[in-house]
């Protein structure tokens, strides 16, 4: 176990922990020994690449969506693609920088190690937080792992997205991992990258759990898209509610660190509503669905602020499909949706 773990970049304890949260029938062997370790190793490589990038500059290219790429976007994309090439169970992949689902080309050595019984699709945002990386704020990587090696589109996310990883690049390099596969309980845990030239991923917390709002001494809120409060009185009233009730503001402008903050503290709500003037920016395939799985596996909720439905309840039709997000502690999410949508949503919940 130890030698295998070190080869995967995992400590023996973490390798054992991943094995313990997967079904005992060995049907997810590659997920635990290849897919998740490979993606964690790529997050290690991205962290090293960011530390070496003293300047954050425009790369002179744009992705398919027309978003101008930074040099660090390209660095992160390349590291994750390299990891996938060594992971034969991943058959198809797409990213926010290259949003077309394509077959993954694997190295010959990787293919020789593949038992061929598991197939996965990966959709990822290689570097979320480009707007705040120049001042050296915390940013992240978002990864969703889908069952089957054909496509993540036109699939039911609640069933087919079976794992997700949020990599966090701050003073420390950490990651939150969620796994929800048939035959095993859903789980969410936090890992951290150890020091040294060949750092190993270690278990930081074997269980990440959002608690009940009433039990928290300190309550947190992160109001994204705050300009929308000037256009939507209900959102303005909700923000004022948090301030009147002495919630603590924790908002950095980075989706990953703001959601992970709530997960670490055990309480919090992240809000990114959409109005006519403030359009939806978060892409469902690359950001919303992986985040939603993480939050749900931690005991929270992630919903669409437009109608209060669970993020994972609706199929994704195309790679550029976007939406808003409210996620966090279940009671806080329900109360926020009730405030934003009012009686119609309450009546829908009772039906």
Find the helix or strand (DSSP H, E) in which 347 lies.
helix 343-350
pLDDT tens readout for residues 297-308: 999 999 999 999
H or E element: which one contains 72? helix 71-85
Say which CATH topology domain 213-350 has.
D-Maltodextrin-Binding Protein; domain 2 (3.40.190)
Q: In degrees to the nearest 10, what's the CA dihedral of 126, 93, 104, 92?
A: 160
Coil, strand or helix at 280: coil
Token code pair at residue 323: 């939406």
Q: Positive or negative, the Cα torsion across 245, 250, 251, 257?
A: negative
140-150 tens-digit pLDDT? 999 999 999 99
User: Can you tell me the distance from the alpha carbon of 270 to that of 256, in angstroms, rounded to the nearest whole number?
Assistant: 10
pLDDT tens per residue, range 4-61: 444 679 999 999 999 999 999 999 999 999 999 999 999 999 999 999 887 777 756 6
Nearest to 136 by CA among 252, 307, 38: 252
Return the higher-pLDDT residue of 215 and 290. 290
pLDDT per residue over 85-100, tens digit each? 999 999 999 999 999 9
Least confident of 66-80, 238-252, 324-338: 66-80
Distance from C-alpha of 22 to C-alpha of 114, rounded to nearest angstrom: 19
- State the pLDDT at residue 61: 64
Residue 130, both tokens: 């480009």
Question: How would you classify the pairing of strands 301-303 and 325-328?
Answer: antiparallel
- pTM, 2 dp: 0.93
pLDDT tens digit sequence for 238-291: 999 999 999 999 999 999 999 999 999 999 999 999 888 878 889 999 999 999
Give Dmax (Cα) for the chain: 61
**Is 2-205 a CATH 3.30.540.10 domain?**
yes
Dig out the tokens for 33 from the structure.
């020994």
């Amino acid at each position: 176990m130890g030698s295998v773990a070190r080869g995967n970049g995992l400590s023996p304890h973490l390798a054992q922990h991943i094995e313990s949260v997967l079904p005992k029938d060995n049907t997810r062997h590659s997920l635990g020994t290849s897919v998740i370790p490979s993606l964690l190793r790529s997050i290690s490589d991205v962290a090293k690449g960011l530390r070496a990038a003293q300047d954050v500059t425009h790369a002179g290219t744009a992705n398919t969506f027309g978003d101008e790429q930074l040099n660090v976007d390209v660095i992160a994309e390349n590291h994750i693609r390299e990891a996938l090439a060594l992971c034969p169970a991943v058959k198809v992949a797409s990213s926010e920088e290259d949003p077309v689902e394509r077959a993954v080309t694997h190295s010959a050595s990787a293919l020789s190690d593949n038992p061929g019984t598991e197939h996965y699709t990966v959709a990822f945002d290689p570097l979320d937080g480009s707007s705040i990386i120049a001042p050296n704020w915390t940013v992240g990587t978002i990864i969703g792992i889908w069952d089957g090696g054909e496509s993540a589109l036109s699939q039911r996310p609640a069933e087919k997205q079976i794992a997700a990883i949020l990599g966090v690049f701050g003073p420390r390099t950490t990651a939150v991992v969620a796994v929800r596969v048939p035959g095993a309980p859903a789980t969410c845990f936090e890992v951290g990258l150890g020091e040294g030239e060949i750092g190993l991923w270690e278990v930081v917390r074997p269980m990440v759990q959002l608690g009940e709002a009433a039990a928290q001494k300190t309550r947190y809120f992160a109001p994204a898209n705050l300009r929308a409060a000037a256009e939507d009185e209900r959102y303005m009233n909700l923000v004022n509610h948090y301030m009147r009730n002495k919630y603590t503001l924790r908002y950095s402008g980075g989706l990953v660190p703001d959601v992970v903050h709530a997960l670490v503290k055990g309480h919090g709500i992240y809000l990114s509503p959409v109005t006519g003037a403030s359009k939806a920016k978060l892409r469902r395939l690359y950001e919303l669905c992986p985040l939603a799985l993480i939050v749900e596996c931690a005991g929270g909720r992630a919903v669409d602020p437009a109608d209060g439905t669970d993020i994972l309840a609706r199929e994704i039709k195309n790679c550029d499909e976007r939406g808003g997000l409210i996620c966090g502690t279940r009671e806080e999410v329900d109360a926020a949706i009730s405030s934003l949508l009012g009686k119609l949503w309450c009546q829908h919940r009772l039906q």
